[in-house]
Amino acid sequence: KGMVAEVLESTYIPALTGAPFTATVHTEWTRYTLDGGSFTLVNQRPIARGNDGRIYEERWTLIPKDGSYKSQKTTIQIGDPTAHTLYNCFMSNKPRNCFLGPFNETTTALYKPAIAKSGPLPHTDAYSTHEDLGKDSIDGIEVIGTRDTITYNRGAIGNDRPISVKREFWYAPSLGINLRSEVSDPSFGKQIFTITDITLSEPDPKLYELPPGFEVVDHRKPPEPAE
């Protein structure tokens, strides 16, 4: 029982072949204070996927919206579904290194947002509502919208009034990713991820090169000894 945290984990990119792109992910996370105020953190970061399914992502720190701080790049991630390798290159480590681990994504796996069914939820005093929002276009790319709302009745989790958790996705079938994702949860505020600046062409091959001066640290399990 109890309320499950509904915080999104940014934008998931499957290792799909034949659908290359480069783009920018914008993150906006607003949390609310007890006196009715709010504070918002933001960042933006580049992402890319090659025709062969290789994925490039950068991770940047969240900073106050409209503040004087500058976002800092923390990590470069490069996933290769053919070589089954995933590099995480940490920009602040000394010495600078890229951790090498397994990349278990396949080039045939498709991602679609989970669709909840409308109706009461088992084992808790809550119910789910699913809405189909129809089709729209983002950056000239067709998207399909869905919204799922979980409403917790008064007293279900110690709440003195009904509360709702909403998740909304605008999914692009041609790319296999969400171009906009939004979650609103009283426990965590509102998170919005929006993809913009989309270019539907093969990314620069240099993106998949490890940054110069970084040492590779292999964290993969060694092969089992032959019997």
- Give mean pLDDT in consecutive 10-residue pieces for the chain, a chain of 227 residues: 45 94 96 91 96 96 90 95 96 90 87 78 86 95 95 85 92 96 91 96 96 93 66
Within the chain, what is the greatest distance between any pair of CA atoms? Answer: 67
Tell me how crowded residue 202 is: count the other CB atoms within 10 A of its CB.
Answer: 14
Q: What is the pTM of this model?
A: 0.86
Sequence-distant (6+) residues with CB within 8 A of 18 are 51
pLDDT of amino acid 115:
73
pLDDT of residue 117: 82
| Residue 136: strand pairing partners | 143
pLDDT value for 5: 38
CA Rg value for the chain: 20
- Please, are residues 58 and 77 in contact by the beta-carbon 8 Å criterion? yes
Please report the pLDDT score of residue 10 as a whole number.
75
Strands 141-152 and 21-32: unpaired
Contact indicator for 15, 21 with CB cutoff of 8 Å: no
With vertex at residue 45, the alpha carbon angle to CA 82 and CA 108, rounded to the nearest 5 degrees, is: 25
Q: Which two tokens stand for residue 106?
A: 């396949």
181 φ, ψ (degrees, to nearest 5): -135, 140
